Amino acid sequence: MPLDDAERSVLAETERALAADDPSFARRWHRASGRGGRAARIRFAVLVVGLLLIVGLLWLGLPGQSLIILLLTVGVLVGVGWRPRLPRALREELTPPGPRAPDPGP
pLDDT band at residue 106 under the 50/70/90 scheme: low
Continuous H helices in 1-106: 5-21, 23-32, 35-59, 63-79, 88-94
Q: What is the pLDDT of residue 52?
A: 95
Q: What is the pLDDT of residue 27?
A: 73
Q: What is the pLDDT of residue 105?
A: 57
Give residue-wise pLDDT tens across range 44-69: 999 999 999 999 999 999 999 999 99
Give residue-wise pLDDT tens across range 75-102: 998 888 887 777 888 777 877 776 666 6
Read off the amino acid at residue 65. Answer: Q
Interior angle at CA 13, CA 27 and CA 105, nearest 5: 10
Q: What predicted TM-score, i.e. pTM, was given to this entire model?
A: 0.51
Q: What is the pLDDT of residue 41?
A: 85
